[in-house]
Structure 1
Amino acid sequence: MASLTVASPSRGKKPLTIDGDIKRILELLDFLRDKDDITVPREQMAQLKEVLESSFFCSVKEVYEHVYNTVDEEGSVSGKATATAKATIAAFAASEGQGHPRIVELEKTDEGFGFNVMGGSGQKCPIYISRVIPGGYSDRHGGIRRGDQLLSVNGVNLEEATHETAIDVLKATEGAVKLVVKYSPKILEEMEFRFEHTKSFRRGGRHSTRH
């Protein structure tokens, strides 16, 4: 069987990437599985390979790659990778018991995205998809759900954004648009319940904007 080699950036070869790293791990697992003198149980190696090929792990990788491409971290490549890993872990830890962050790619059309958003830092709550317009683009696409918290749009973090900022960011997009969202319907329900009992709602000041 052919031996495995790891490209080293210090030798002028192609830098390591997360996709390349995972591919090498899978190749190594296959290599070790065929060896007769390996003490690690083959069942455990098979389980590890299953994890690395699972849809959940792929979702983690997608979020990591998205954060890595947008995180503002000066210094070495390893420093940026460490900061990205911490941010990714924090995102998943914060969403424990809720939906995990996921990436949804949409196309900005003449009809807009076909969803309403509400909330914002001014209302002391996150930006949420409050309604998916029946028959609209997002409804046909199927990737967006009512109850999704809008974390970022094309790398612009909206976790602490005002309602107005979120609207401006959405309006400024063109063509292919990448959203990072997480499904947290219970929080949206609590937020809507609170809005129902505020003066701003009674005066027609509720923020819910269509896109």
Structure 2
Amino acid sequence: MTAIDDATDMRTARERGKAERRQQILDAAAVLIAERGLAGVRLEDLGKAVGISGPAVYRHFANKEAVLEELLVGISEYLLSHGSAVVEAAPTPQAALESLVDFHIDFSLSKPALIRVQGRDLASLDDDARRAVRHLQRRYVEIWVQVLRDLDPELSVEDARIKAHAGFGALNSTPHSSGRMTPLADAQRERTRAVLCDMALAALTPPR
């Protein structure tokens, strides 16, 4: 291995380490902001949660508002891209709905803290970031609207949108009803998944 290769490997390792630390900060921030609200969290708290000093957090984020922006814009981008992908891969409208429900349940059970943060702290974003989140969310909703109308062509856009939002309300209720900001244990997760899936499909599938 040459000196250039060694330098490249060292740089790659540093970049990977920095990316991992950044993700650790984001994961810790989701839980802390969910528990305390953005106003109750300092960068020092985030550093302590991941084993670094408060000033070291500045190597990754300019301030706690930047952390919040990455959390909420990032999860909105994730929902849109993965929601689009599961629909595109589905062979039928019914399969698309089932895949969307399954995907969103995975999100709600694995990211309960982000659901709480989204509901309470979206207004803490600056105008541009808040608009970006809202735009991404609307596009995600429209994926559901299209699938619901593919299943029931007589369903109006407005009614499909109401049904989609009602579905989100139910599927996103777990962190509020359980009070948990961390993912459920496996057994409880599977029981909750089964209940949510049956409920959502019963509500969203048109009568035959």
Fold match (TM-score > 0.5)? no
Report which structure shows greater RCO (CA 8 Å, sep ≥6). 2
Higher radius of gyration, 1 or 2:
1
Q: Normalized per residue, which structure has more helix?
A: 2
Q: Which TM-score applies when normalising by structure 2?
A: 0.28
Q: Normalized per residue, which structure has more strand?
A: 1
